[in-house]
Amino acid sequence: MIGNLAGVLFDGIAYGSLLFIISIGLSVTMGLMNFVNLAHGAFAMVGGYACVLLMTRAGLPFLATLPVAFLVAAAAGIVLERTLYQRLYKATHLDQVMFSIGLVFMAVAATTFFFGPSQQPVRLPDFLRGQVRVLGLDVGAYRLFLIGTVIVATIALHMMLVRTRFGAQVRASVDNAVASAGLGINVNRVFGVTFALGSGLAGLGGGLGIDVLGLDPTFPLKYMVYFLLVVAIGGAGTIKGGLLAAMILGICDVAGKYYVPQIGSFIIYFLMVVLMIAFPAGLYGRRV
């Protein structure tokens, strides 16, 4: 039972890490531009398909495809941000919701058209398969790799936000876009680069997640609730909040499906409603 508990916790943390890396871009862009973007999962899907295509068609190894997934999703992000998203920052939330649902539908239909409706396969390298023994506990090697990657990415992201000039500009723009623009920060450019970065991270997460979350054209719809939840529960615009929320979600979802499979996804929705009522602005949300 205790061994089970540790295993469930570990899987939950791995799952949460994945949710975190995909959603963190959404959290930052939502905090930055106050844009309700339901289409964030589509960027993760773009990254995932980039991985699969490079592996199956170009024969690249899995690890080599991950940076490409990041770049492709970031490129898709910047193109869409400059052409479409940018024009809706001032629109109502309803318009933003409708617009991004429209994008999701188009992404789902286009992906089905080009790559078919089936699940995409992933071939992990041998050293990431099977079990590894850590601290007397057998854990999946890939999940360990997943957690490690996400830790590295999170530290890099944190360093970038805290230590670099660009990070300071992002933080200033999140706090007060108007005042930042007055101080000479090119807020518009900060928005664009941040959006691309967030999309890229989602793409990386999409690639990493093929083995855990699966990958098919309905991916952006299937996991939309989870990504939104990380942001809504954590509070938009904070890395700390997103991380905490992603871990809570990941552990509760895995534990719920392991211990009480008969009530299915009920736990996660229940948790969502309870947390949203207790913390309407998120765990680390700023009061407006």
The single-letter code of the amino acid at 147 is I
> Is 101 one of the binding residues for other proteins (CB under 8 A)?
yes
Instruction: Write phi, then psi, for 284 (nearest 5 degrees).
Output: -115, 25
118 lies in the site for other proteins, by CB under 8 A: no
DSSP symbols for 190-203: HHHHHHHHHHHHHH
Residue 277 interacting with other proteins (CB under 8 A) = yes
- Which of these segments, 47-55, 123-131, 189-197, 224-232, binds other proteins (CB under 8 A)? 224-232
Q: Closest CB to other proteins among 206 and 235?
A: 235
Select the residue interacting with other proteins from 54, 55, 74, 108 (CB under 8 A).
108
Give helix 2-33 / helix 187-208 axis angle, nearest 10°: 150
Does 98 bind other proteins (CB under 8 A)? Our answer is yes
Residue from 58, 113, 176, 259 in contact with other proteins (CB under 8 A):
113
Under the criterion CB under 8 A, does residue 105 sit at the interface with other proteins? yes
Residues in the chain: 288
Distance separating alpha carbons of residues 109 and 279, to the nearest angstrom? 36
Binding test (CB under 8 A) with other proteins, winner from 58, 63, 79, 106: 106
**Residues touching other proteins: how many (CB under 8 A)?**
53
In the structure encoding, which two tokens stand for residue 36, read together? 């309700």
Answer yes or no whether residue 232 interacts with other proteins by CB under 8 A: yes
Q: Which of 88, 124, 168, 212 binds other proteins (CB under 8 A)?
A: 88
Shortest CB 48 distance to other proteins, Å: 19
Q: Give the helix ranges, DSSP H, for 34-140.
A: 40-56, 62-83, 93-115
Residue closer to other proteins by CB (options 53, 108) is 108
What spatial distance separates the first Cα and last Cα of the chain, rounded to whole Å? Answer: 45
Binding of residue 241 to other proteins (CB under 8 A): no
Radius of gyration of the chain (CA): 19
Angle at 30 between CA 228 and CA 174, to 5 degrees: 145
Minimum CB distance to other proteins smaller for 181 or for 281: 281
17 within 8 A of 81, measured Cβ to Cβ: no
Amino acid identity for residue 170 in this structure: V
Instruction: Using the rule CB under 8 A, give the single segment among 14-22, 61-69, 180-188, 265-273 that binds other proteins.
Output: 265-273
276 binding other proteins? (CB under 8 A): yes
Residue 103 is a binding residue for other proteins (CB under 8 A): yes
Q: How far apart are CA 13 and CA 17, in angstroms?
A: 6
Binding range to other proteins, per CB under 8 A, among 56-64, 153-161, 207-215, 263-271: 263-271
DSSP 8-state class, residue 121: P
What one-character-per-residue DSSP string does 61-76 give?
-HHHHHHHHHHHHHHH
Cβ proximity to other proteins, 16 vs 256, nearer residue? 256
Q: Can you tell me which residue has the tokens 């193109």?
A: 79
For binding to other proteins (CB under 8 A), which residues are involved? 30-31, 34, 36, 84, 87-88, 90-95, 97-99, 101-110, 112-113, 225, 228-229, 231-232, 235-237, 262-266, 269-270, 272-273, 276-277, 280-282, 285-286, 288
